[in-house]
Amino acid sequence: MIERAPNIYQLDIPLRNNPLKSLNCYLIVGVESLIIDTGFHTAEGEALIREAMAALGMEPSHTRLFLTHLHSDHTGLADRLAKTGVRVSMGPVDLALLRSSLDPSGDFWQEVLAISIEQGLSADHLALSDHPGFRYRPLALPEVAISRPGDRFLVGDYRFEVIDLPGHTPGLQALYEPKHGLLFSSDHILEQITPNITYWGERFGDSLGQYLGSLDQVLAMTVTRVFSSHRSLPTDHRARIDQIKRHHELRLQECRAILQGGPASVREVTRKLSWDIRATSWEDFPASQKWFAAGEAQAHLVHLVARGELTSEKQGEELIYRLK
The binding site for Zn ion (CB under 5 A) comprises 71, 187
Shortest distance, CB of residue 178 to Zn ion, whole angstroms? 25
Cβ closest to Zn ion, residue 36 vs residue 53: 36
Shortest distance, CB of residue 71 to Zn ion, whole angstroms? 4
Burial class (CB in 10 A: 0-12, 13-18, 19+), 37: buried
Whether 320 and 264 have beta carbons less than 8 Å apart is answered as: yes
Cβ closest to Zn ion, residue 124 vs residue 187: 187
Cβ closest to Zn ion, residue 100 vs residue 196: 196
Shortest distance, CB of residue 168 to Zn ion, whole angstroms? 6
Burial class (CB in 10 A: 0-12, 13-18, 19+), 289: middle
Cβ closest to Zn ion, residue 71 vs residue 271: 71
Q: How far apart are CA 31 and CA 57, in angstroms?
A: 10
- DSSP per position, 151-197: -EEEETTEEEEEEE--SSSTT-EEEEETTTTEEEEETSS-SSSPPP-
Q: How far apart are CA 108 and CA 28, in angstroms?
A: 34
Q: How far is CA 244 from CA 35, 62, 276, in A?
A: 27, 38, 15
Cβ closest to Zn ion, residue 136 vs residue 321: 136
Shortest distance, CB of residue 180 to Zn ion, whole angstroms? 25
Which single residue brings its beta carbon nearest to Zn ion?
A: 71
Cβ closest to Zn ion, residue 177 vs residue 187: 187
Shortest distance, CB of residue 100 to Zn ion, whole angstroms? 17
Shortest distance, CB of residue 290 to Zn ion, whole angstroms? 19
Count the alpha carbons within 13 Å of 224 in the hemisphere toward its beta carbon: 6
Whether 174 and 185 have beta carbons less than 8 Å apart is answered as: yes
Cβ closest to Zn ion, residue 8 vs residue 189: 189
The shares of helix, strand and coil residues in the chain, as percent rounded to the nearest 5, are 40, 20, 40
Q: How far apart are CA 205 and CA 249, in angstroms?
A: 19
Cβ closest to Zn ion, residue 71 vs residue 251: 71
Shortest distance, CB of residue 187 to Zn ion, whole angstroms? 4
Q: How far apart are CA 191 and CA 124, in angstroms?
A: 33
Shortest distance, CB of residue 157 to Zn ion, whole angstroms? 29
Helix axes 207-219, 237-259, angle to 10 degrees: 150
CA 267 to chain centre: 22
Whether 306 and 209 have beta carbons less than 8 Å apart is answered as: yes
